[in-house]
Amino acid sequence: AKRAGGSTFAFFEPSMDHDAREQLQLQHDLRSALDRHELELYYQPKIDGYSSQITGVEALVRWHHPTRGLMMPGVFIPIAERFGLIGALGGWVLDEACRQLQIWQNQGLRMRVSVNLTPQQLQQDDLMDRIHRAVTRHKIDRRLLTLEITESVFMQNKDAALRVLTRLAQDGITLSLDDFGTEYSSYAVLSEMPVHQLKIDRHFVMKLGTSLKAEAIVDGIIHMAHALNLRVVAEGVETEEQRDTLVRLACDELQGYLFAKPMPADRLTLWAMGDDT
Ligand code: C2E
Ligand code: CA
Ligand code: CA
Ligand code: CA
Protein backbone atom coordinates (compact mmCIF):
# COMPACT_ATOMS: atom_id res chain seq x y z
CA ALA A 1 0.00 0.00 0.00
CA LYS A 2 1.05 3.61 0.06
CA ARG A 3 2.82 5.63 2.64
CA ALA A 4 2.21 9.33 2.87
CA GLY A 5 4.77 11.75 4.24
CA GLY A 6 8.22 12.27 2.88
CA SER A 7 7.83 10.36 -0.35
CA THR A 8 9.00 12.51 -3.22
CA PHE A 9 7.38 10.53 -5.99
CA ALA A 10 3.82 9.63 -6.84
CA PHE A 11 2.76 6.15 -7.70
CA PHE A 12 -0.61 4.92 -8.76
CA GLU A 13 -2.78 2.00 -7.97
CA PRO A 14 -5.55 0.94 -10.30
CA SER A 15 -8.02 1.08 -7.42
CA MET A 16 -7.25 4.70 -6.65
CA ASP A 17 -10.04 7.00 -7.65
CA HIS A 18 -9.51 9.86 -10.02
CA ASP A 19 -9.32 12.56 -7.34
CA ALA A 20 -6.69 10.78 -5.29
CA ARG A 21 -4.60 10.15 -8.39
CA GLU A 22 -4.96 13.77 -9.43
CA GLN A 23 -3.84 14.93 -5.99
CA LEU A 24 -0.78 12.71 -6.07
CA GLN A 25 0.14 13.99 -9.50
CA LEU A 26 -0.27 17.59 -8.39
CA GLN A 27 1.74 17.19 -5.20
CA HIS A 28 4.49 15.67 -7.33
CA ASP A 29 4.41 18.66 -9.68
CA LEU A 30 4.20 21.10 -6.80
CA ARG A 31 7.43 19.76 -5.31
CA SER A 32 9.35 21.00 -8.31
CA ALA A 33 7.28 24.15 -8.88
CA LEU A 34 9.38 26.22 -6.48
CA ASP A 35 12.70 25.23 -8.07
CA ARG A 36 11.30 25.86 -11.50
CA HIS A 37 9.97 29.29 -10.59
CA GLU A 38 6.43 28.37 -11.53
CA LEU A 39 4.88 30.23 -8.61
CA GLU A 40 4.04 33.90 -8.86
CA LEU A 41 2.46 36.38 -6.49
CA TYR A 42 -0.44 38.45 -7.73
CA TYR A 43 -1.35 41.57 -5.80
CA GLN A 44 -4.74 43.11 -5.17
CA PRO A 45 -4.92 46.70 -3.93
CA LYS A 46 -6.68 47.82 -0.77
CA ILE A 47 -8.24 51.26 -0.95
CA ASP A 48 -8.74 53.80 1.81
CA GLY A 49 -12.47 54.33 2.27
CA TYR A 50 -12.10 58.09 2.77
CA SER A 51 -9.34 59.19 0.43
CA SER A 52 -9.68 56.43 -2.19
CA GLN A 53 -5.89 56.12 -2.12
CA ILE A 54 -4.16 52.74 -2.24
CA THR A 55 -3.06 51.71 1.26
CA GLY A 56 -1.54 48.36 0.49
CA VAL A 57 -1.86 45.10 -1.36
CA GLU A 58 -2.76 41.52 -0.56
CA ALA A 59 -0.40 38.93 -1.99
CA LEU A 60 -2.25 36.02 -3.61
CA VAL A 61 -0.23 33.11 -4.93
CA ARG A 62 -0.65 31.64 -8.42
CA TRP A 63 0.90 28.60 -10.01
CA HIS A 64 1.80 28.54 -13.69
CA HIS A 65 1.54 24.80 -14.20
CA PRO A 66 3.56 23.61 -17.21
CA THR A 67 0.61 21.78 -18.78
CA ARG A 68 -2.49 22.84 -16.88
CA GLY A 69 -1.96 26.58 -17.11
CA LEU A 70 -2.79 29.07 -14.38
CA MET A 71 -3.81 27.35 -11.17
CA MET A 72 -5.56 29.01 -8.24
CA PRO A 73 -4.56 28.69 -4.59
CA GLY A 74 -7.91 27.17 -3.67
CA VAL A 75 -6.75 24.10 -5.60
CA PHE A 76 -3.12 23.73 -4.60
CA ILE A 77 -2.87 25.18 -1.08
CA PRO A 78 -4.86 22.24 0.35
CA ILE A 79 -2.54 19.87 -1.51
CA ALA A 80 0.51 21.67 -0.16
CA GLU A 81 -0.90 21.31 3.34
CA ARG A 82 -1.77 17.68 2.96
CA PHE A 83 1.62 16.67 1.58
CA GLY A 84 3.88 18.69 3.85
CA LEU A 85 4.76 21.38 1.32
CA ILE A 86 3.06 24.35 2.94
CA GLY A 87 6.14 25.38 4.93
CA ALA A 88 8.31 25.69 1.85
CA LEU A 89 5.56 27.32 -0.20
CA GLY A 90 4.67 29.75 2.58
CA GLY A 91 8.33 30.59 3.10
CA TRP A 92 8.66 31.44 -0.56
CA VAL A 93 5.52 33.62 -0.43
CA LEU A 94 6.87 35.57 2.54
CA ASP A 95 10.25 36.11 0.95
CA GLU A 96 8.79 37.11 -2.40
CA ALA A 97 6.26 39.51 -0.86
CA CYS A 98 9.04 41.22 1.14
CA ARG A 99 11.30 41.38 -1.92
CA GLN A 100 8.54 43.08 -3.90
CA LEU A 101 7.68 45.43 -1.06
CA GLN A 102 11.31 46.56 -1.00
CA ILE A 103 11.15 47.28 -4.74
CA TRP A 104 8.00 49.36 -4.25
CA GLN A 105 9.58 51.25 -1.36
CA ASN A 106 12.53 52.09 -3.59
CA GLN A 107 10.14 53.32 -6.26
CA GLY A 108 8.57 55.64 -3.74
CA LEU A 109 5.31 53.69 -3.48
CA ARG A 110 4.23 53.81 0.12
CA MET A 111 2.20 50.76 0.84
CA ARG A 112 1.75 47.77 3.05
CA VAL A 113 1.72 44.13 2.03
CA SER A 114 -0.53 41.39 3.41
CA VAL A 115 0.33 37.71 3.31
CA ASN A 116 -2.12 34.88 4.02
CA LEU A 117 -1.27 32.16 6.53
CA THR A 118 -3.14 28.89 6.98
CA PRO A 119 -3.68 27.49 10.49
CA GLN A 120 -1.10 24.84 9.74
CA GLN A 121 1.52 27.45 8.86
CA LEU A 122 0.92 29.19 12.15
CA GLN A 123 1.71 25.95 13.97
CA GLN A 124 5.08 25.46 12.31
CA ASP A 125 8.12 25.93 14.52
CA ASP A 126 10.12 27.78 11.91
CA LEU A 127 7.45 30.38 11.06
CA MET A 128 9.12 33.11 13.12
CA ASP A 129 12.47 32.28 11.52
CA ARG A 130 11.02 32.47 8.05
CA ILE A 131 9.42 35.83 8.77
CA HIS A 132 12.59 37.25 10.30
CA ARG A 133 14.68 35.98 7.43
CA ALA A 134 12.40 37.53 4.80
CA VAL A 135 12.16 40.85 6.62
CA THR A 136 15.90 41.09 7.29
CA ARG A 137 17.03 39.90 3.88
CA HIS A 138 14.99 42.54 2.09
CA LYS A 139 15.48 45.21 4.75
CA ILE A 140 11.82 46.06 5.03
CA ASP A 141 10.12 47.77 7.90
CA ARG A 142 8.20 44.95 9.55
CA ARG A 143 5.42 47.36 10.43
CA LEU A 144 4.53 47.29 6.74
CA LEU A 145 3.87 43.55 6.89
CA THR A 146 0.38 42.25 7.67
CA LEU A 147 -0.42 38.59 8.21
CA GLU A 148 -3.95 37.45 7.44
CA ILE A 149 -5.21 34.56 9.53
CA THR A 150 -8.65 33.01 9.95
CA GLU A 151 -10.55 32.27 13.11
CA SER A 152 -9.98 28.56 12.60
CA VAL A 153 -6.39 28.98 13.87
CA PHE A 154 -7.90 29.08 17.33
CA MET A 155 -9.88 25.89 17.03
CA GLN A 156 -7.12 23.35 17.46
CA ASN A 157 -4.46 24.64 19.79
CA LYS A 158 -5.65 27.94 21.06
CA ASP A 159 -2.86 28.59 23.55
CA ALA A 160 -0.15 27.86 21.03
CA ALA A 161 -1.82 30.11 18.47
CA LEU A 162 -2.14 32.86 21.07
CA ARG A 163 1.58 32.60 21.91
CA VAL A 164 2.69 32.87 18.29
CA LEU A 165 0.35 35.76 17.53
CA THR A 166 1.46 37.62 20.64
CA ARG A 167 5.09 37.34 19.59
CA LEU A 168 4.31 38.49 16.07
CA ALA A 169 2.34 41.46 17.39
CA GLN A 170 5.19 42.35 19.77
CA ASP A 171 7.49 42.33 16.76
CA GLY A 172 5.38 45.07 15.22
CA ILE A 173 3.68 42.90 12.63
CA THR A 174 0.03 43.68 11.91
CA LEU A 175 -2.43 40.83 12.34
CA SER A 176 -5.64 40.68 10.38
CA LEU A 177 -8.56 38.37 11.02
CA ASP A 178 -9.65 37.19 7.57
CA ASP A 179 -13.10 35.99 6.47
CA PHE A 180 -14.63 37.49 9.58
CA GLY A 181 -18.13 36.32 10.32
CA THR A 182 -17.94 32.98 8.54
CA GLU A 183 -16.94 30.90 11.53
CA TYR A 184 -18.29 30.73 15.03
CA SER A 185 -16.63 32.04 18.21
CA SER A 186 -15.92 35.34 16.52
CA TYR A 187 -16.59 37.46 19.58
CA ALA A 188 -14.62 35.33 22.01
CA VAL A 189 -11.71 35.38 19.59
CA LEU A 190 -11.83 39.13 19.19
CA SER A 191 -11.71 39.80 22.89
CA GLU A 192 -8.75 37.49 23.50
CA MET A 193 -6.53 37.71 20.44
CA PRO A 194 -3.99 40.41 19.64
CA VAL A 195 -5.40 41.23 16.21
CA HIS A 196 -5.32 44.74 14.75
CA GLN A 197 -7.69 44.47 11.86
CA LEU A 198 -10.58 42.43 10.65
CA LYS A 199 -11.76 41.65 7.18
CA ILE A 200 -15.48 41.36 6.61
CA ASP A 201 -16.09 38.31 4.51
CA ARG A 202 -17.18 38.70 0.92
CA HIS A 203 -20.45 36.93 1.60
CA PHE A 204 -21.73 39.83 3.70
CA VAL A 205 -20.39 42.43 1.30
CA MET A 206 -22.09 40.66 -1.60
CA LYS A 207 -25.53 41.18 -0.06
CA LEU A 208 -25.15 44.89 0.62
CA GLY A 209 -27.74 46.80 -1.35
CA THR A 210 -30.16 43.89 -1.54
CA SER A 211 -30.37 42.77 2.06
CA LEU A 212 -31.07 45.12 4.95
CA LYS A 213 -30.13 42.31 7.31
CA ALA A 214 -26.68 42.08 5.77
CA GLU A 215 -26.32 45.83 6.12
CA ALA A 216 -27.30 45.65 9.79
CA ILE A 217 -24.73 42.91 10.39
CA VAL A 218 -21.96 44.81 8.60
CA ASP A 219 -22.89 47.96 10.51
CA GLY A 220 -22.69 45.98 13.76
CA ILE A 221 -19.33 44.45 12.89
CA ILE A 222 -17.85 47.85 12.03
CA HIS A 223 -19.12 49.48 15.22
CA MET A 224 -17.83 46.64 17.36
CA ALA A 225 -14.47 46.63 15.60
CA HIS A 226 -14.03 50.36 16.04
CA ALA A 227 -14.99 50.13 19.71
CA LEU A 228 -12.18 47.55 20.03
CA ASN A 229 -9.79 49.83 18.16
CA LEU A 230 -9.59 47.57 15.14
CA ARG A 231 -9.45 48.66 11.54
CA VAL A 232 -12.03 47.16 9.22
CA VAL A 233 -11.39 46.00 5.67
CA ALA A 234 -14.22 44.84 3.41
CA GLU A 235 -13.31 42.21 0.83
CA GLY A 236 -15.09 41.34 -2.38
CA VAL A 237 -16.43 44.82 -3.16
CA GLU A 238 -17.84 44.52 -6.67
CA THR A 239 -20.39 47.30 -7.10
CA GLU A 240 -20.56 51.03 -6.50
CA GLU A 241 -23.59 50.49 -4.33
CA GLN A 242 -21.58 48.18 -2.06
CA ARG A 243 -18.77 50.70 -1.95
CA ASP A 244 -21.08 53.60 -1.10
CA THR A 245 -22.78 51.60 1.64
CA LEU A 246 -19.45 50.57 3.16
CA VAL A 247 -18.10 54.11 3.10
CA ARG A 248 -21.32 55.35 4.69
CA LEU A 249 -20.90 52.69 7.41
CA ALA A 250 -17.35 54.02 8.03
CA CYS A 251 -15.47 50.96 6.75
CA ASP A 252 -11.77 51.87 6.77
CA GLU A 253 -10.49 50.01 3.72
CA LEU A 254 -12.03 48.39 0.67
CA GLN A 255 -10.84 45.64 -1.60
CA GLY A 256 -12.49 43.98 -4.58
CA TYR A 257 -12.99 43.71 -8.32
CA LEU A 258 -14.66 47.15 -8.41
CA PHE A 259 -11.20 48.64 -7.87
CA ALA A 260 -8.93 45.97 -9.32
CA LYS A 261 -8.49 42.24 -9.65
CA PRO A 262 -5.32 40.60 -8.32
CA MET A 263 -2.52 41.23 -10.83
CA PRO A 264 1.20 40.62 -11.36
CA ALA A 265 3.61 43.01 -9.62
CA ASP A 266 4.55 45.05 -12.68
CA ARG A 267 0.93 45.73 -13.53
CA LEU A 268 0.17 46.62 -9.94
CA THR A 269 3.02 49.13 -10.05
CA LEU A 270 1.52 50.87 -13.09
CA TRP A 271 -1.95 50.75 -11.56
CA ALA A 272 -0.76 52.23 -8.26
CA MET A 273 1.26 54.99 -9.91
CA GLY A 274 -1.60 55.88 -12.21
CA ASP A 275 -4.32 55.84 -9.61
CA ASP A 276 -2.38 57.14 -6.71
CA THR A 277 -1.29 60.49 -8.03
P1 C2E B 1 -8.76 35.06 0.70
O2 C2E B 1 -7.60 35.36 1.56
O3 C2E B 1 -10.11 35.23 1.30
O4 C2E B 1 -8.57 35.95 -0.60
C5 C2E B 1 -9.60 36.59 -1.28
C6 C2E B 1 -10.00 35.85 -2.54
O7 C2E B 1 -11.10 36.53 -3.15
C8 C2E B 1 -8.91 35.80 -3.60
O9 C2E B 1 -9.04 34.58 -4.32
C10 C2E B 1 -9.28 36.99 -4.50
O11 C2E B 1 -8.79 36.87 -5.81
C12 C2E B 1 -10.78 36.91 -4.48
N13 C2E B 1 -11.40 38.20 -4.70
C14 C2E B 1 -10.89 39.43 -4.51
N15 C2E B 1 -11.78 40.40 -4.82
C16 C2E B 1 -12.90 39.76 -5.21
C17 C2E B 1 -14.20 40.22 -5.67
O18 C2E B 1 -14.49 41.41 -5.76
N19 C2E B 1 -15.10 39.26 -5.99
C20 C2E B 1 -14.83 37.94 -5.90
N21 C2E B 1 -15.77 37.06 -6.26
N22 C2E B 1 -13.62 37.48 -5.46
C23 C2E B 1 -12.68 38.37 -5.14
P24 C2E B 1 -7.76 33.67 -4.65
O25 C2E B 1 -6.63 34.51 -5.11
O26 C2E B 1 -8.23 32.57 -5.54
O27 C2E B 1 -7.37 33.06 -3.25
C28 C2E B 1 -8.21 32.15 -2.60
C29 C2E B 1 -7.72 31.84 -1.21
O30 C2E B 1 -6.47 31.15 -1.24
C31 C2E B 1 -7.45 33.10 -0.38
O32 C2E B 1 -8.68 33.55 0.15
C33 C2E B 1 -6.49 32.57 0.65
O34 C2E B 1 -7.18 31.95 1.71
C35 C2E B 1 -5.74 31.49 -0.11
N36 C2E B 1 -4.41 32.00 -0.51
C37 C2E B 1 -4.08 32.78 -1.57
N38 C2E B 1 -2.76 33.02 -1.61
C39 C2E B 1 -2.22 32.40 -0.53
C40 C2E B 1 -0.89 32.29 0.00
O41 C2E B 1 0.10 32.84 -0.53
N42 C2E B 1 -0.73 31.54 1.14
C43 C2E B 1 -1.80 30.95 1.76
N44 C2E B 1 -1.57 30.24 2.89
N45 C2E B 1 -3.06 31.03 1.30
C46 C2E B 1 -3.27 31.75 0.16
CA1 CA C 1 -6.87 36.98 2.76
CA1 CA D 1 -10.74 36.75 2.91
CA1 CA E 1 -12.35 34.09 1.69
CA 41 to ligand 1 center in whole angstroms: 11
Looking at residue 105, its pLDDT comes to: 95
Looking at residue 202, its pLDDT comes to: 95
Q: How far apart are CA 243 and CA 33, in angstroms?
A: 38
For 150-180, give one letter per residue: b (16+ CB within 10 A) or e: bbbbbeeeeeebeebbeebbeeebbbbbbbb
Looking at residue 16, its pLDDT comes to: 67
pLDDT at 1 over 50: no
pLDDT at 114 over 70: yes
Looking at residue 182, its pLDDT comes to: 82
Residues near ligand 1 (Cβ within 6 A)? 44, 59-61, 72-74, 77, 90, 93, 116-118, 121, 148, 178-179, 202, 235-238, 256-257, 262
**In sequence order, which ranges of the chain are alpha helices (DSSP H)?**
18-33, 73-82, 86-106, 119-122, 127-137, 158-170, 186-192, 202-207, 212-227, 240-248, 265-276
Q: What mean pLDDT comes out for the span 194-204?
A: 94
CA 176 to ligand 3 center in whole angstroms: 10
Which residue puts its alpha carbon closest to atom 22 of ligand 1?
Answer: 236
Which residue puts its alpha carbon closest to atom 33 of ligand 1?
Answer: 116
- pTM metric for this prediction: 0.93
CA 240 to ligand 4 center in whole angstroms: 21
pLDDT tens track for 136-158:
999 999 999 999 999 888 887 88
pLDDT tens track for 48-92:
998 999 999 999 999 999 999 999 999 999 999 999 999 999 999
Position 15 confidence tier, pLDDT thresholds 50, 70, 90: low
Q: What mean pLDDT comes out for the span 26-38?
A: 95
Write a three-state SS string for 24-50. HHHHHHHHHHCCCCCEEEEEEEEEECC
Non-local CB neighbours of 112 within 8 Å, separated by 6+ positions: 46, 55, 56, 57, 144, 145, 146, 174
Looking at residue 221, its pLDDT comes to: 94
Which residue puts its alpha carbon closest to atom 4 of ligand 1?
Answer: 60
Position 11 confidence tier, pLDDT thresholds 50, 70, 90: low
- Please check whether residue 272 is in contact with residue 109, taking contact to mean a CB–CB distance below 8 angstroms: yes
pLDDT at 14 over 70: no
Mean pLDDT value across the chain: 91
CA 170 to ligand 2 center in whole angstroms: 22
pLDDT at 185 over 70: no
pLDDT at 194 over 70: yes
Q: What mean pLDDT comes out for the span 223-248?
A: 96
